[in-house]
Chains A and B, each alone.
Chain A
């Protein structure tokens, strides 16, 4: 490819599907478009590795593949191999071959036939690799080598098939398609898969997980001043202003995507109840059922909010951080009120009905538009001189939410977000911040092994084995107490004092 400057080859632009501006309402017909578009074909990780393997780089951080090799994603496909004991057990229990089963492949590697593989590559043996997240490379492989590439807007890059993963909305959606589930791409984990031995999907806080896997990128604000200046010209403003604010956006996207997942799965059920019966328990809060039957029970003391006791809740970990995000965006939205239509359906019978939940999603479409409004507000914010005050306010609010938290997963999400907030919050002494982070990390197992997957493999237990089993033992009273922050030494101007929370 020889074109230079900012021109986009018209031939390519004409055939691509523009994925921006996807509607987020909850109509009966799923309107979510898969990030993978059949318009592009995979080029294979080998092609990326050719350049993205050096250890240096600033504008273009090309040390990516060496970082990615230590990232658990690079091993995702190994879980499909019958060499793996757990896989063998699952295959036996489910009567399947994992490497030939679409719902396994969908999250553990590229799908077999969609998008098509352009040439002989090792793409099926590369786990979740470059093109899984960045988009199939046939459209952008050559153009992105051009100097002009960096000055294209994200919509323009999208037209070549490259996703803008600096944008926290797109990134959250990309991650959540596997880490939560996405009907449109066939990334549906079922309770049957869990019961057969699939590890539980942990509550997902995008920024902590990104940091935990060993980032193979730099934030714009981590780059040199010269590059930052160029980046401003290069439409990098979508990146957001800080890890904390990206995290808040991630929580709002997660809240939206949980509702979408329920809606879309309910649609699937209505069309094919035989293969996709209701209820699909994987759509519910794992710990609503999977908890120790300890007496006295803090769950009973905390209460069940608007739910009738004994009726399992839908996935609920995004809610409390999303509530903070609404407050930060200045929108007076009560997350529990927003989800009231779903709760009403769950109260009508245990697990609700597919039809009832789909109707609740439809009825709530207008309220759910509030989520997009909040996202819009938060993503407009810049890395300017109000950042410190914004972060201090959000940190205080997250701590307040943590003092009233009612479940392990929500506590973890809040704690990870608090960690981002405390990282830069010089309104509190450094020692206190470090201790707070260490204590929450101990109680809620927030840490990620570094590197997540060492080469050669370490005999240490994988992340999920150590963290997820902590849930039944978590002492919510201690967790709540650990969220207590002393008053800030440097109150941020214009930041109201947040009163102690009412237990929910």
Chain B
């Protein structure tokens, strides 16, 4: 199983709290290097966000992790008495799966995948390197030793050629975010900036995507939920002064993460549909219906009486027998987001309504590929992209995000449209929002976290969603039992004072 899907499964299997290194005195190196032109940094007009995920002008040396990971910089020994940034590289190298992103391309499975897709060698194929290395940061082919860094420092922090020599000087601290970014440095201290950095690979975009051909060849499915991924990710920075220090960090990560992800999901759908439309018009081969846009387990389930969906009671039955539903993972995310992080602008269509609108375009006859259908999908995809984009900005601007993942709210969602909650995907999303909302705990601290009895009940709920041994699908998932178990979790928000 690939790193990204493995991460979420691991999360479902066992909570993995990032190590919390003790605060340590900051080690500042003496500024004996001249500052090239720092004083002359122009301020960027309009404070434009430039996290497109691609910086084609980047250089190999600026991307290589080699200069970051020296012992005296970020590659020091893991030591609770030292500041995390002194061993950030060490954490990345030892504990972070991103460090092995390129290495996996040499595995027999990757090589077989590339062969069966006609891509040649996986570790040389642009389609693979786009996410498994820092190649997409650079217009020039990166040398093998830089490719070998996998998803290294430069993938997220940006090409360091213009700021590597200055970022440890006291002057660096005086620069504004905009000034730093004009040098190619990416500020990752806030939730929205982090999410935008993950999305190009973990959701995909017009230039890099995980489609069904790739999945069939052996690539794990992508399904992204930023808050859970972030929680699993070995943290290599100090929380002080960063997103972690916000009182609503968990809620914010979930809400902004889901909104930004939905925007990207919609944009990817739009790209896929536009591509299919023009290919069809030109009578070229195409990939529509793109099967990875639909519920995996609608098709990938055992036949016969053991089929887990066949056993569902009538209210959870698929209203369109034999037809897979569009993206239950993201439709449920949209529904939950709209319901639990109530929108501040009533009247505007929320992300829940718009995700459901896309799903409905595919009902019935999900597979139709005529112009009328594709145009409608495109229209709805753009609608979601706009709604989710607005939602991302609105949520990011909120001073405090409070999630109402109470049973009352979740029960109302379930009662509204039970078939939407028949999916294992939707159950996991429900669990994730309960987690993000701290199990209903009023968040007085830095981070919402369920405790005691609630914690145990949530853990049991998570265990019930695990795949049975030997399977990579939810063979035994039962939406009725899940919702009974979910309703039995003692959420403190439901307890009346």
Contact = CB atoms under 8 A, between A and B. Distances in A.
B288 A350 contact: yes
Interface in A287-301: 289-297, 300-301
Contacts of B24: none
B472 A292 contact: yes
A350 B291 contact: yes
Residue among B116, B212, B220, B475 having the largest count of chain A Cβ atoms under 10 Å? B116
A464 B321 contact: no
Residue among B291, B301, B304 having the largest count of chain A Cβ atoms under 10 Å? B304
A194 B218 contact: no
Interface stretch (B12-20, B76-84, B333-341, B365-373): B365-373
A465 B310 CA distance: 13
A469 B471 contact: no
Interface string B482-495: 00000000000000
A192 B318 CA distance: 11
Interface string B211-225: 111111110100000
B473 interface: yes
A264 B1 CA distance: 41
A349 B369 contact: yes
A279 interface: yes
Nearest to B279: A349
A454 interface: no
Interface string A318-336: 0000000000000000000
A369 interface: no
B241 interface: no
Q: Pick the 3 closest A-B CB pairs, nearest first.
A: A195-B322, A310-B216, A289-B299
B22 interface: no
Contacts of B304: 199-200, 464-465, 468-469
Contacts of B323: 195
A218 to B, nearest CB: 34
Interface residues of A, number: 45
Interface of A: 92-94, 190-192, 194-197, 199-200, 277-279, 281, 286, 289-297, 300-301, 303-304, 308-311, 347-351, 464-465, 468-469, 471-472
Interface in B314-350: 314, 317-318, 321-323
A468 B303 contact: yes
A156 to B, nearest CB: 44
A351 B367 contact: yes
Interface in B350-389: 365, 367-369
A94 B473 contact: no
Contacts of B409: none
B475 to A, nearest CB: 8
B110 to A, nearest CB: 11
Contact of B112 (A93, A300, A471): A300
B46 to A, nearest CB: 43
Contacts of A347: 285
Contacts of A192: 321-322
A301 B322 contact: no
B303 A286 contact: yes
Contacts of A293: 296, 300, 471-473
Contacts of A472: 302-303
A182 B193 CA distance: 58
Contacts of A191: 322
B285 A349 contact: yes
17 contacts: A92-B314, A93-B321, A190-B322, A195-B322, A277-B368, A289-B299, A290-B301, A290-B302, A290-B303, A291-B302, A292-B475, A293-B300, A294-B470, A309-B217, A350-B287, A350-B289, A468-B304
B322 A350 contact: no
Interface in B289-308: 289-291, 296, 299-306
A464 B301 CA distance: 17
A181 B317 CA distance: 27
A471 B470 CA distance: 14
